[in-house]
């Protein structure tokens, strides 16, 4: 039996050390620990996919907590099924031993409890993710209602923009030359001209 560890943080700025230390303390070799630094919304993660290719029947996958595996309810269940049923490996969740499949071999009650707890936790993880999105949307709507502007702030156009815009329309000057005269970038001049056209 080979032991593997999987750790995940949502961004490159987050620190995975707590997870890595816990996995190493379980006796997992560093070369057998896979770390992704990206969101858990799906399972299209480079290190996770590499790990799946290495897992064999009888191996043990250890994770710190269920939310490190993922946050999408249906996909967590699908990956759990793939690892335990298709590959035939076991999963150990350090923060919740009720989920450990390596302790429930040949024990139908243990398997049932493990599957039931997993479904509840996966559901809670996805519900929390939905609530976070909902709170963000409500926060943005409330801020907009108070007049808060989102996105890039448009800089004030040079006083002579209108004159150069008209010259450009009449084909008397190129966008590059006009931008140069106005001391703005070519792309800014062109974008503002297009905005004028739409008006």
Q: Which of 68, 54, 61, 52 is nearest to 19 (CA)?
A: 68
CA angle centred on 29, ends 25 and 35, rounded to 5°: 90
Residues taking part in catalysis: 10
Strand pairing category for 3-9 and 33-37 = parallel
Q: Which residues are CB-neighbours of 108 under 8 A, at least 6 positions away?
A: none
DSSP string, 49-63: HHHHHH--TT-EEEE
Q: Which ranges of the chain does DSSP label H, i.e. alpha helix?
A: 17-25, 46-54, 66-69, 73-81, 108-145, 161-169, 175-182, 186-198
């Amino acid at each position: 039996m080979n032991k593997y560890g999987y750790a995940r943080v949502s961004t490159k700025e987050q620190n995975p050390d707590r997870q890595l230390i816990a996995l190493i303390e379980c006796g997992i070799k560093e070369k057998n620990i896979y770390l992704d630094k990206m969101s858990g919304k799906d399972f299209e993660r480079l290190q996770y996919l590499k790990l799946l290719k290495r897992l064999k029947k009888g191996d043990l996958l250890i994770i710190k907590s269920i939310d490190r595996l993922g946050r999408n309810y249906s996909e967590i269940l699908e990956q759990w099924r793939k690892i335990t049923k298709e590959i035939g490996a076991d999963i150990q969740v350090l923060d919740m031993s009720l989920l450990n499949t390596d302790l429930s071999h040949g024990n139908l009650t243990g398997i049932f409890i493990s599957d039931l707890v997993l479904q509840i936790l996966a559901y809670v993880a996805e519900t929390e993710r939905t609530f976070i999105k909902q709170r963000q949307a409500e926060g943005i709507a409330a801020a907009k209602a108070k007049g808060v502007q989102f996105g890039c702030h448009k800089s004030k156009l040079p006083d002579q923009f209108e004159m150069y815009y008209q010259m450009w329309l009449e084909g008397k000057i190129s966008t590059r030359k006009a931008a140069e005269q106005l001391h703005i970038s070519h792309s800014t001049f062109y974008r503002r001209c297009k905005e004028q056209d739409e008006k």
